[in-house]
Amino acid sequence: MRTDDLIKAIAADAKTVEPPIGQTLTMAVGAGTLISALLFLWALGIRDNFMDSIATSVRFAFKFVLTLSVAIPAFLLVRGLARPDFKPDGRLWWLALAPALLLAGIIGEMMVLPADTWKARMIGQNSVYCLIVIPILSLAPLAAVLYALRKGAPTHPVTAGAVGGLLSAGIAATLYAAHCPDDSPLFLAAWYTIGVVVMTGVGALLGSRMLRW
């Protein structure tokens, strides 16, 4: 049987395939997120002024808007990529939401802050820490997503792995944002972005090896 015929045969049974793989992915992401959250609370914890910052700081709230704009579209996309008949097409544009928001945040930051403060805002207090923590907190969600994807039938293994890595980084960045004392969009652009790109690359590499039929 040719690959195209096999894909069509599996897709024809979509009513029985879709709910299980959707549930498997949801449960796997939930489990991976829980593991990372427990590790985060044990090793770092939420910053002391969390509630005050949420209520009074636009920059702090923006961090979560940004990280969730990475995680949520990636989750929706990876659910589709687990199916053999899924064609990303224009839906990959969902992933442009986070860069667009980040660009808007950077422009807004530069408009309200003097130019001589931009470098300090970008470097922040915990840049190296950020580069270490986000990949570490991404490991459990990434492992869970790859496990779930192997239960499906992705026909775009590199893309599926990359989006899985992006999802794991979005989850990790959301957790770390609750601890990180650096709230400037300039800091997010410089350091969170590196962690997200690294994990997307790791996901693509692992996907190319683990998700091929």
Q: How far apart are CA 43 and CA 126, in angstroms?
A: 15
Q: How far apart are CA 154 and CA 162, in angstroms?
A: 12
pLDDT of residue 16: 47
Q: Which of 15-19, 37-41, 182-186 shows the lowest mean pLDDT across its residues?
A: 15-19
pTM exceeds 0.75 for this model: yes
Here the tokens at position 141 are: 């969600």
| Residue 91 near residue 74 (C-beta atoms within 8 A) | no
| Residue 28 near residue 144 (C-beta atoms within 8 A) | yes
pLDDT digits (tens, 9 = 90+) for 31-58: 999 999 999 999 999 999 999 999 999 9
Here the tokens at position 57 are: 């700081």
pLDDT digits (tens, 9 = 90+) for 86-110: 877 777 889 999 999 999 999 999 9
